[in-house]
Amino acid sequence: MNQALIKLLVSGVGLRQSSRILGLSRRCLAIKARKICVHLAHMNQNLRGQLKGNVCLQLDEIETYETKRRERPVTFPILIEKNSRFILWGESGTLSPRGKMNERRKMAIEAEIREFGVRRDESKETVRRTLRHAIPLVKHLPYLRVQTDEKSTYPGLLKAAFGAERLLHQTTSSKIERNIQNPLFPINQTEAIARDLMGRLRRESWLVSKRRRFLDQAFQMFMAWKNYVRPRFNRDQETPAMLAGLVGRRLKPGELVGWRQDFGQRKLPIVPLVA
């Protein structure tokens, strides 16, 4: 049941349709899904290690929302290793409403402020937390190449996270066509795959998360599947984690939930790779 649920949720199927297919109530299935996501978050931490090979990181932010698209926008930075397509981290943060304001939208935003307070722009803090997760994976490298768009906050955040003396920061305009010739094509493609396989990230969908923390949990499941089970490309046999030098073989779907993972990396007595 757990294995079947994971396959559905990483294939773009929502909780309601998954509950119909598996014959469970939506409430029970949601509880089971959240439990699996928490388990996989531990696994993602336990199997991490220092990246090997020619390491180049790419960072970008995508935008989604929680409950209300126009009043509660959300930023979601994603950090990957360019060549292996290994996803290092991704998490959500709030954004303040922006864009064209008509009277109806202004009234809706004012109602949100009265109920929940002013919505903060957490983009900078969220990117900082995302970069912090990458520090142990790249601290052994004498220099580090990072590619982003030209957002003004990135240079300072990257220097603070990785050190200015070893950082090579390359930028690409976000106005350039997003085709295969674009230097940021790997991160753009990863974001497109995430939107396709995670209904919670789609721009207009009933599957959107009502609360951000459930989006963060669901991304842990997607990250585990993308890094350890799914090959980098359809023509490949290796997963991103294998190409990044973190694991020696591809995990089977059932192995994602086959061993308890909440002991921590140091005390973990067994992981799927040594079974």
Q: What is the pLDDT of residue 272?
A: 63
Higher pLDDT, 151 or 201: 151
| Model pLDDT for residues 126-159, shown as the tens digit of each residue | 999 999 999 999 999 999 999 999 999 999 999 9
Q: What is the pLDDT of residue 229?
A: 96
Mean pLDDT (the chain) is 90
Other CB atoms within a 10 A radius of the CB of residue 43 amount to 25
Residue 86 near residue 231, CB atoms below 8 Å? no
Q: What is the pLDDT of residue 73?
A: 87
Helix (H, G, I), strand (E, B), or coil: what is residue 232?
coil
> Rg of the chain's alpha carbons, rounded to an integer?
19
- pTM over 0.85? The answer is yes
258 falls in which pLDDT band (50, 70, 90)? confident
